[in-house]
Chain A
Amino acid sequence: MRSGDGAAPEQPEKGSTPPDERARWLRIKSVFLEALEHQERERTAFVKRTCGADAELRDEVLSLLASEKAAASFGETPAAGLLGLGAPADQPLPRLEPGSRLGAYEVTAFLAAGGMGEVYRARHTVLHRPVAIKTVNALADPLARRRLLREARHAAILSHPNICTIHEVGDAEGAPFIVMALVEGQPLREMLRSAVPALDDALNYGVQVADALEHAHQHGIIHRDLKSSNIVLDASGRPIVLDFGLAKRLPQVGAPSDSTVTGQGALAGTLSHMAPEVLQGGAADARSDVWSLGVLLYELITGRLPFSGRTAFETSSAILSEPPHSMPGSVPWAVRLVIERCLIKNPPARYQHAADVRDALDAIRRRRAWPLVGRLFVAARRRTLYAIGAAAVVVLASASVGPRVWERLVDARRISTLAFLPLENATGDAALDYYAAGLTDGIMGELGVATQLRLIAPASAARVARTTDTLAAVARRLGADAIVTGRLRHAGDRIAVDVRVIDRAQGRVLWSDTYERTAEQTLALQADVVRAIAGEVRLTFRPEGAERLTTVRAVNPQAYEAYLKGRYEWNQRTQTSLQRAIAFFTTAIDLDPTYAPAHAALADCYNQLGTVLLAAGSPRKYRPLAAAAAIRALQIDPYSAEAHAALAYVHKYELRWNDAEREFRRAIELNPSYPLAHVWYANMLMARGRMDEALAEVRLARELDPFSLIVNANVGWVLTVAGRPAEAITHLEWTLTLDSTYVQARARLFGALFAAGRYAEAREQAERLVRVTNRSPQMVANLAIVEVKLGRPNVARALLEELLARERVGYVPPPSIAWVFAALGDLDQAMAWFNRAFDERSNAIAYLGGEPANSPLRADPRFQALLAHAGLH
């Protein structure tokens, strides 16, 4: 029967044929197919030769060959076509002659035809306004015709510079027609065939098309078939979107077929831009238009389609289940992220509104347009094809700070680690202290993203500087190749920053310079310093960093001030300071809604408030706020390491391990010098039992910010969980010498002492923590647990009663209660509270896997089930 690779399942064929007849057919088949391999005139001779004495076989094959010749076109028109259901390519179409009248319009030329009607150029007989008229054939299905006209009337309410306006829907003796603006120009699709536009042009087109879509969506109109062939660039180079809501029902000017996709039928024609949910039969909505916009952007920027295949089948499979084809390396990261976010298969995860895409593209566009220096830099970068070496930086540096003596800098290229002292506030105005601190942080952050320098944090540098004689010695102690110092002063109504870079070896000044800007240009000032430092030490810019330096924007000075004050409060990390920080960041956002750092910082605050340690309220309340703020920050600034880290933090405690891993890595990739990203990532690795990696990450964080309290508290914690409590205790005791009031370090010290079995000392720490935190629930729980160990379960029970009483009137983190029940041996209650903790995705859940093997919880199958549920093993 069939050969082994046959496609049909193993089952009996219907209408079985006797075996000899079957064999006969196979013989006929083989001679016939072989004959086809010969030149036509040789076939008869071949058949006669092959069949020999078998005259019957010979006649049969020759008969089939004759038939084959006659059957050339037979069967090539599919059945649907024969039945009049297929594409009506060869049906003659009635055409209106030039001079014909349609209502108040006179036809001047025929433009195009489609199955449902034709398109004409026409003009208003009185106003002489030129228009395009689409007729709707009377032959077409009346229901569909009615719907089309209704939608055309609906779409006529749209009025937007980038939308082809529908003037009216008319009727000439029962033959309806649609009158619209005549757009003369080149469809984008055709333009793309010859050349890909410059990035700036592509961004401009993208912003305008997105804005057009947003306008239509606001009016409840979905395009349904947005693609490069129904966007026309008019004479002034403005993109005009045609056929809103109608595209699928009307013939299109200048786009007889979408030949970029092979295959037959109209689905294939637009398949390339179709959203996966639409492809699967779902309804089109604003988000499926956003998908199509993503395809369009991809096309505009790369000249290719993101999803394609040799057949319609392959294309649809790609749309449904494969990532877009990768974009060339020349496409900037920011642009790439916007496109990728449009092309997320799951609609709720995509940009929800065309306005979001518009804003993201607009931000990129405006930033690119900003400083002349940046543009020079980009030009240089293009020429060198991303081998951004010293040459490009010379262009940049000389453009930004003027001619300078390069001989001085021969040694500078050795610099790979840079320490920073906080900028000194020399304005005489103490109110500007926060400004100096904020500017320092800003410069550090930007430099971290822009370059591959390892940066030692200012607070740590300052601490060393207090006890060290020379700056060169400070640099040496911190393991830095050079150290940056600077001061802030007034220069008339402007702000000036004097910066010096000092070499670690000889202590000589490698260079110094002054930068001045107005208050509005704080961020530009920041970028000036970053560019100068990078230029002076002849760094290699990371591509996204270079991009970023070209994207500096103005910031509202009040917003910036509020942001800096918020940062100060954030660093205190208490419940009330975080609430104040939130107020400041919210003010900053109100004043300047697209200032990304404020959104990212807001995310950090919400993340902290939902933790067991701070216990301001359930993570159910705070984590969605954190996620929203982080995502907003990323929409504005996809390079924000802080925002990626904040989002990773959300993912981590929502137990979405892979997402968390990806976002942490991205944050670290963007700014390897961001200590908190390393710390939080270390916590996640620890939760996952990847202790070696966790230790490596906290170690890295410590190198970057050796005297940071939060970093050192976490070093202690990771050491404890790694089963090294003795080292942890030493480390945390040292950390508390930096600041004895730092709660997190003391709480970790309690944990380390407890793990080491030093219960009496642990109790001492727990009591102190209860006092200084005003009876924070987790601290009360800690005390209760250690009381059990010290043989005082009654004390523990009293403390548990306190927690339960407080829980009835306010928020007490469920895991705090669970731990006490577990310590008292009530595993049923413990599990009930752990389950509640799991339900609210308490951050404590992530760390349950590190529970010591000898704990009674370990043996409880419910606990094991919970761990499995949380993806912990």
Chain B
Amino acid sequence: MTTPTPAEVTGLLLQWSRGDAEALQRLTPLVYDECRRIAERQLHDERPDHTLSPTALVHELYLRLVDQRRTTWKNRAQFFGVAAELMRRILVDYARRRQAQKRGGAGVLVSLDAALDATNGSRSAEVLALNEALGRLGERDPEQQRIVELRFFAGLTVEEIAHVLGRSPRTVKREWRLAKAWLFRELHPQFGNSA
């Protein structure tokens, strides 16, 4: 597993931007590996409390993998979209394994999990439920799905999301409120029958 170069990643990003869907299929695994590598490093060495900061992670991914001289803000938004989606995947995988262990499954522990298991208070079921609901939201509103990924999974602030997407913070905030309302109702069906 070698670290992808910025030239490689940037090239794929630009190809994808020009409509080459296959470029995304090649881009994703490259970024995913790097994403996971940074996550493990964060958990093991460098963070004061051995926590994961998805925010720092996606920023780092971007700075490390994308040649900013060759890209526009639009490519940046695309990249952050991919990174947030990968962050979502990593966290959901993690939550699934946690659930499996709770049910007594003998999941193979990769090093990432070994460190994480030292902590308590997991609410992995909640994360998994939200993940599923988010899939349904994405079917009707991909933009909102992206905002939720950036906010909930990648941990970006509203201002950062606005910056990444090239929208106003106000717009992002309003979209986020609707997305939250919709997802909350999906997870708490009693609200569906009210009014």
Residues of A within 8 A of B (CB-CB), count = 77
Cβ contact within 8 Å between A311 and B159? yes
Q: Assuming A5-B167, A7-B166, A29-B178, is B50 touching A140 (CB within 8 A)?
A: yes
Cβ contact within 8 Å between B48 and A266? yes
Tell me if A385 counts as interface (CB < 8 A to partner B): no
A807–chain B nearest beta-carbon distance, Å: 43
B99–chain A nearest beta-carbon distance, Å: 11
Q: Assuming A11-B21, A36-B177, A313-B59, is B191 touching A67 (CB within 8 A)?
A: yes
Cβ contact within 8 Å between B185 and A63? yes
Cβ contact within 8 Å between B56 and A267? yes
Cβ contact within 8 Å between A17 and B155? no
Cβ contact within 8 Å between B50 and A144? yes
Cβ contact within 8 Å between B91 and A83? yes
Tell me if B26 counts as interface (CB < 8 A to partner A): no
> Which A positions have Cβ atoms within 8 angstroms of B?
1-2, 5-17, 21-22, 25, 29, 32-33, 36, 59, 62-68, 70-71, 74-75, 78-80, 82-88, 91, 114-116, 139-141, 143-144, 147, 248-251, 262-268, 279-281, 310-314, 316-317, 320-321
Bound complex: CA A343 to CA B10 (Å) = 27
Cβ contact within 8 Å between B118 and A91? no
Bound complex: CA A62 to CA B194 (Å) = 8
Main secondary structure of the interface of B (DSSP, over half): helix
A573–chain B nearest beta-carbon distance, Å: 45
Contacts of B91 in A (CB 8 A): 79-80, 83, 85
Cβ contact within 8 Å between A2 and B64? no
**Option from B48, B60, B151, B193 in Cβ contact (under 8 Å) with A248:** B48
Contacts of B68 in A (CB 8 A): 317, 320-321
Q: Known contacts A279-B60, A311-B157; can you find 4 more A-B pairs with CB under 8 A?
A: A25-B141, A87-B49, A116-B48, A251-B48
Bound complex: CA A78 to CA B166 (Å) = 22
Cβ contact within 8 Å between A82 and B48? no
Tell me if B127 counts as interface (CB < 8 A to partner A): yes
Cβ contact within 8 Å between A88 and B51? yes
Binary contact readout B137-155 vs A (1 if CB under 8 angstroms, 0 otherwise): 0111111001010011111
Bound complex: CA A263 to CA B155 (Å) = 10
Bound complex: CA A310 to CA B163 (Å) = 10
Contacts of B127 in A (CB 8 A): 79, 82-83
Cβ contact within 8 Å between B160 and A263? yes
Tell me if B95 counts as interface (CB < 8 A to partner A): yes
Tell me if B55 counts as interface (CB < 8 A to partner A): yes
Cβ contact within 8 Å between A78 and B51? no
Nearest neighbor of A33 in chain B, beta-carbon distance = B174
Tell me if B105 counts as interface (CB < 8 A to partner A): no
> Which B positions have Cβ atoms within 8 angstroms of A?
16-17, 19, 21, 24, 38, 43-56, 59-60, 62-64, 68, 74, 77-78, 81, 88, 91, 94-95, 98, 114-116, 118-124, 126-127, 130, 135, 138-143, 146, 148, 151-155, 157, 159-160, 163-167, 174, 177-178, 180-185, 188, 191-195
Contacts of B143 in A (CB 8 A): 2, 6-8
A175–chain B nearest beta-carbon distance, Å: 15
Show 24 A/B contacts (Cβ-Cβ < 8 Å), sorted by A.
A9-B78, A22-B140, A62-B195, A63-B191, A68-B177, A68-B184, A71-B180, A71-B183, A74-B180, A75-B151, A78-B54, A79-B91, A80-B53, A82-B124, A82-B126, A83-B116, A85-B51, A85-B91, A87-B51, A88-B49, A141-B44, A141-B50, A264-B55, A266-B48
B152–chain A nearest beta-carbon distance, Å: 6
Cβ contact within 8 Å between B185 and A67? yes
Contacts of B24 in A (CB 8 A): 11
Cβ contact within 8 Å between B140 and A7? no
Contacts of B155 in A (CB 8 A): 78-80, 86, 264-265
Cβ contact within 8 Å between B182 and A67? yes
Cβ contact within 8 Å between B56 and A9? no
Bound complex: CA A21 to CA B136 (Å) = 13
Contacts of A279 in B (CB 8 A): 60, 63
A569–chain B nearest beta-carbon distance, Å: 49
Cβ contact within 8 Å between B81 and A264? no
Nearest neighbor of A145 in chain B, beta-carbon distance = B50
Cβ contact within 8 Å between A64 and B52? no
Cβ contact within 8 Å between A85 and B116? yes
